A and B are shown apart, each in its own frame.
Chain A
C-alpha cells in the first residue's frame, strides 16, 4: 500500500506540469487534503440535515401526540399510518438521529473536515502523511453513511435500541423490530465508520508530529492543531475498543455466542439458549469509547473557537499554554470517567465515588478554557463576523451545558436524573449545540480559505441569532422536565397523567425546534449559493496569522507554489504594541531574526518575552521552556 501511494505521488509530481487531473482523480477519488475536507464537509452537512429533519419529526410527535399529520403519511408511508408516527419508528428516529449527529456529523463532519483542511495548511505541509489512507478514510465514511441510510428502507425498520445500542434490546429481534436487519446494518455502518476514523486519525497524528515546516515547533502550533491532535489520539485509543465491543455484539446476534446474552425469557419462544452473558460488559466497552467520544466531538470545536476568537478579538489568545494543558487534561481524564454513565447499573458505590471525583475534576480544565476565552475577549477589538458570533455562542453553550454536568456527575443526584430530559438537555447543550456552533464558526471562518469567496454576512447574522435562540429555547426547558422526572425516549406522555402539565412546554420546544430548523435552510442556501456566487475574498480576509492564509486561494496540489513558508513566531501576535500592523503572520521574521533558522536548533525565543512584564502578562513566558522539554519536538 505504501508503495502504491509512493509511486502515485511521484507520478503526480512528475506529470503535474503538463496535464490536468481527470475529473475522477480531482473530485471523486481525490488524494488532495483540501478536496477530501470538502467531501467530508458536504457529506457531513447532508447527514446533518437528515439528522435534523428526523429530530423535527419526533418533536412533532412529542408536541402533538394525538394529532394526525397528513404529510407524515405521504413522507413516511407505513411508518406513519393515518399521519401519526408509528411507536417503533419513533424509537428508530431517535436512534438514527443520535447516531448520525454523534458519529457522522460531529465526529466525521467536524473533525474530518477541519483536520483535513487545516492540519497540512497550518503546520506547513504539502499534504497528509499518507494521502492514500486519507482518501480511504473518506470513502469508508461515505460507504458507512450509505449503509446507515440504506437501513431506513428496510421492511423491519432501522435500528431502534438507542444510539448506545445496549444489549439485550439491541441483540434480540424478538424484543423490538429494529433489532433485526436494521441493527445488523447499523453495526456494519459503525465498523466501516471506525475504519474511516482510524485511518484518518493515524494520518492526523503522523502529519502533526512529523511534517511541520521549519520553525513550526510544537509550541508554535495554532490551538486548532493542538485540539485536532488530542482528538485524533483519543480516537485512536478509543475507537478500537468500540470495535471490540461491536464485534462481540455481532457474534451474539449472528453467531450464537453468549458474551452479552443470557437465558432471557422471550414471550412465545421460551428461554434463550444462551447462559451467563453480561449486558453490563457491553456498557463498559461502549462507554470506554463513549466518553472520550464526547471529547472527540467537542475538542475540535474548542480548538476552532480559540482560533476564531483570538483572530476576531484582535488579541493574543489568553493563556496559550494553559489552553494546551487543559486540552491535555481533558483528553487524559476522559478515559477515566466512563463509569459515570453507569452509576445505576449496580456498581460498587466506592467505584462510583471514584468515577464521580474524577468526573468532577474535569470541571477544572473546562473552566480554565472558559475563562481563557472570556479573558481573550476582554477589552478586545472585537470583529463581530458570523464566525465570531458562533464562536462566542459556543462559549455560552459550553458554560450553560457544562454547569449541569456538575449535577449529573454526582452519583447520588444521578439516581434521580438518570435517563430523564435533564440528561438530554445537558448533553445537547454542552456537546451537541456547542460542537455544532464550533463547526458553524469554522465553516464561516474558513469558507474563504476553502472556496475563495465570502459567505453572506447578513444571512449569517440571522442564522446565528435564530439558531442561538432556538438552541436555548429547545434545550433549556428540558432541564425542568428532567428534574420533574420526565423520562427520555418515551413516545407519548399523554398516557401518563402526571406528565400532562408538560404538554405546553413540549409544544414550545417543538415550535422553537422548527424555527431553528428553518434557520438552517438559510445557512444551506447561504453555503451552497456562496460557493458559486459569493463575493470573492482576498487571500487573508480576516487578517489572520496562521499559515493557511499564506497559501494562494487557487486549489493547487502541494498548497504553496514555491517553498513552504518558514515559521518565526507563535500564531497569536495580534495588536503587538511595537508593531505598525495589528497582526504579524507566523512566517514574518522579526528584525534581526535569522532568515533561515537552522533545523534541529531550538526555536528563537518568541519576541513577546522582550515586551516589559507589565504589558506581556498574558503571554506565555517561562512555561514555553517547560513545554518544549516535555514534548521534545522543537527543532
Chain B
C-alpha cells in the first residue's frame, strides 16, 4: 500500500475499457428490462387463458406518454448543454425535466383515479386491471429512481459540478431517464395493443 499512491490508482483507472459505473447502470437496465419482459409475458399468457375483462385505458395515460417524451427531449437538451458548458441552459433544462417528471407522476396518479372511479381496482378478481396496476406500478417505482437521479444532477449543476469535463452524473441520469421513458412507451403500447 505504501508504494501505491492515489496517482497510481488513477493511471490504473485510465485503462478501463468503459467507465465501470456507467457500465453497471447499463447492466442494471438490462436486469430491469428482464423484470418487465417477465411481467408482460405473464400478461400475455394469462390473457390467452380467457376470463379477461378488457377495459379502455384512460386518456390520462396518453398525457403521461406525451409528458415523458417531452421530458426526454429536455433531458437530452440538458446533456448537450453540459457538453457545451452552457451552464444556464443546463440548469433550465434539468429543472424543466424535473418538473415534467413530477408532471408525469401526477398524470399517472390521475389516470389511476379514473380507473378507480370506474370500479377498476388493483385488488379483487379482475386480473386485467390487477395486471395494469402492477405493471404501471412497477414502472412508477422506477420513476422514483429517476427523480433521485435528476435531483442529484440538478443539485450538482447548481454547485457547478457538471460541465464538459465532468459528465458522468449527467450521462448516467440521462441514460436512466431515457430508459424510463422508453420503457413507459413500450408499456403503454403493449397495454394498449393487448388490452
A133: which B residues are within 8 A, CB to CB? 24
The reply to whether the CB of A111 lies closer than 8 angstroms to some CB of chain B is no
Contact B24 A129 (CB under 8 A): yes
B117 within 8 A of A: no
Scan B127-142; emit 1 where CB is below 8 A from any A CB, else 0. 1001100100010000
Please give, as numbers and ranges, the residues of chain A lying within 8 Å of B8 by CB-CB distance.
563
Contact of B20 among A3, A206, A244, A278 (CB under 8 A): A206
Q: A98 to nearest B CB, angstroms? A: 22
> Chain A residues with Cβ under 8 A from B30's Cβ?
236-237
In the complex, which residues of chain A have a beta carbon less than 8 angstroms from the beta carbon of B17? 209-210, 633, 635
Q: Which residue of B lies closest to A556 (CB)?
A: B1
User: For residues 188 through 214 of chain A, which have their beta carbon under 8 Å from a beta carbon of chain B?
Assistant: 198, 201-203, 205-207, 209-211, 213-214
A277 at the interface (CB under 8 A from B): yes
Contact code string A299-311 (vs B, CB < 8 Å = 1, else 0): 0000000000000
Contact B127 A257, beta carbon cutoff 8 Å:
yes
Q: Which of A565-592 contact B (CB under 8 A)?
A: none
The smallest beta-carbon distance between B113 and chain A, in angstroms, is 19
Measured in the bound complex, the distance between the Cα atoms of B139 and A381 in whole Å is 58
A561 interface residue (CB < 8 Å to B): yes
A130 adjacent to B31 (CB under 8 Å): no
Chain B residues in 8 Å Cβ range of A236: 27, 30-31, 34
Is the pair B134, A251 in contact by a Cβ cutoff of 8 Å? yes
Binds B, one of A178-186, A280-288, A382-390, A417-425: A280-288
- Please give the distance in Å from B154's CB to the nearest CB on chain A: 14
- State the CA gap A9–B20 with chains docked (Å): 14
Q: Which residues of A contact B16 (CB under 8 A)?
A: 210-211
> Max chain A CB contacts within 10 Å: which of B20, B52, B124?
B20
Are the CB atoms of B152 and A3 closer together than 8 Å? Answer: yes
A255 at the interface (CB under 8 A from B): yes
Flag if A13 contacts B35 (CB, 8 Å). Answer: no
The answer to whether A2 touches B2, judged by C-beta atoms less than 8 angstroms apart, is no
The answer to whether B46 touches A3, judged by C-beta atoms less than 8 angstroms apart, is no
CB distance from A216 to the nearest CB of B (A): 10
A256 near B123 (CB under 8 angstroms)? Answer: yes
* B42, CB-defined interface residue at 8 Å: yes
Contacts of A238 in B (CB 8 A): 34
Q: A236-B27, A561-B1 are in contact. Are A257 and B123 (CB under 8 A)?
A: yes
Least Cβ distance of A34 to chain B in Å? Answer: 14
Q: Does B193 contact A (CB under 8 A)?
A: no
Let me know if B56 is at the binding interface, CB within 8 A: no
A:204-234 near B, CB below 8 Å: 205-207, 209-211, 213-214
Quick check: is B23 within 8 A (CB to CB) of the other chain? yes
Contact of B51 with A202 in the complex, beta carbons under 8 Å: no
In the complex, are the beta carbons of B24 and A599 less than 8 A apart? no
> By the criterion CB–CB under 8 Å, are A17 and B2 in contact?
yes
- Whether, in the assembled complex, B172 has its beta carbon less than 8 Å from a beta carbon of chain A, the answer is yes
Chain B proximity of A534: nearest CB distance (Å): 25
CB of A14 within 8 A of CB of B31, answer no
CB-based contact A257/B20 at 8 Å: no
Question: Residue A83 at the B interface, CB < 8 A?
Answer: no
A259 touches B46 (CB 8 A): yes
Cross-chain contact A240 with B38 (CB below 8 angstroms): yes
The answer to whether B31 and A240 touch across the interface, beta carbons within 8 angstroms, is yes
Given contacts A129-B21, A240-B38, A278-B49, is CB(A255)–CB(B27) below 8 Å?
no
In the assembled complex, the CB of B15 is this many whole angstroms from the nearest CB of chain A, namely: 7
In the bound complex, residues from chain B placing their C-beta under 8 Å from that of A399 are none
- Asked if B118 CB lies within 8 Å of chain A CBs, one says no
Q: Is B127 within 8 A of A288, CB to CB?
A: no
Across the interface, A561 reaches (CB within 8 A) one of B2, B9, B127, namely: B2
Number of B residues near A (Cβ < 8 Å) is 50
A558 & B20 in contact (Cβ 8 Å cutoff): no
- Give the contacting residue for B15; candidates A205, A207, A599; CB below 8 A: A599
Knowing A202-B24, A210-B18, the reply to whether A562 touches B38 (Cβ < 8 A) is: no
Which of A14, A258, A563 has most chain B Cβ within 10 Å? Answer: A258
Q: What residues of A have a CB within 8 angstroms of the CB of B169 in the complex?
A: 2-3
A273 to B126, CA, bound (A): 11
Name the distance in Å between B54's Cβ and chain A's nearest Cβ. 14
Tell me the complex Cα distance, A17–B134, Å: 52
Residue on B nearest A5 in the bound complex, by CB: B21
Residue B39 at the chain A interface, CB threshold 8 Å? yes
Interface residues of A in 9-44 (CB under 8 A from B): 9-10, 13-14, 16-17
CB distance from B168 to the nearest CB of A (A): 7
Q: Are A257 and B122 in contact (CB under 8 A)?
A: yes
- For the complex, what is the distance from the CA of A16 to the CA of B123, rounded to whole Å? 55
Asked if A119 is at the interface (CB within 8 A of a chain B CB), the reply is no
Say how far B4's CB is from chain A's closest CB, in angstroms: 5
Minimum Cβ distance to chain B for residue A634 (Å): 11
CB-contacts of B104-126 with A (<8 A): 122-126
Q: Among A257, A274, A285, point to the contact of B38 (Cβ < 8 A).
A: A285
Chain A's closest residue to B130 (CB) is A257
Bound complex: CA A239 to CA B41 (Å): 15
Establish whether residues A558 and B1, one from each chain, have CB atoms under 8 Å apart when the complex forms.
yes
1/0 per residue B169-181: CB within 8 Å of A? 1001000000000
Q: Which of B3, B9, B20, B41 contacts A562 (CB 8 A)?
A: B3
Asked if residues B1 and A277 are in contact (CB atoms below 8 Å), the reply is: no
Q: Are A281 and B21 in contact (CB under 8 A)?
A: no
- Contacts of A13 on B, CB cut-off 8 Å? 4-6, 9
Query: A203–B122 Cα gap in the complex (Å)?
Result: 36
Contact status A255-B125, CB under 8 Å: no
**Complex-state Cα separation, A213 to B15, whole angstroms:** 8
Q: Provide the bound-state CA to CA distance between A635 and B131, in Å.
A: 47
Q: Which single residue of chain A is at the shortest CB-CB distance from B168?
A: A2
Question: Looking at B15, B49, B124, which has the most chain A CB atoms within 10 Å of its CB?
Answer: B15
For A259, the chain B residues whose CB sits under 8 A away are: 42, 46, 127, 130-131
In the complex, the chain B residue whose C-beta lies closest to that of A128 is: B20
Q: Tell me if A564 is interfacial: C-beta within 8 Å of chain B.
A: yes
Contacts of A213 in B (CB 8 A): 15
**Is A369 interfacial (CB 8 A cutoff)?**
no
Which residues does chain A contribute within 8 Å of B28, judged by CB atoms? 198, 202
Q: Which of the residues B24, B34, B124, B126 comes within 8 Å of A130, measured between beta carbons?
A: B24
Q: How far is the CA of A284 from the CA of B125 in the complex (A)?
A: 21
Residue from A16, A198, A278 in contact with B45 in the complex, judged by beta carbons closer than 8 Å: A278
Most chain A beta-carbon contacts within 10 A, residue among B2, B28, B49, B125: B125
Chain A residues contacting B134 (CB-CB under 8 Å) are: 247-248, 251, 257
Please name the residue on chain A nearest to B2 by beta carbon.
A17
CA of A133 to CA of B31 in the docked complex: distance in angstroms?
A: 15
A45 at the interface (CB under 8 A from B): no
In the complex, which residue of chain A has the Cβ closest to the Cβ of B48? A278
Q: How far is the CB of B31 from chain A (nearest CB, A)?
A: 5
- List, sorted by A's number, 9 A–B pairs whose CB atoms are closer than 8 Å: A13-B6, A130-B24, A201-B27, A202-B28, A203-B24, A244-B42, A256-B124, A257-B122, A558-B1
Query: Top 8 A-B pairs ranked by shortest CB distance?
Result: A276-B51, A129-B20, A244-B38, A240-B35, A240-B34, A241-B38, A256-B123, A257-B130
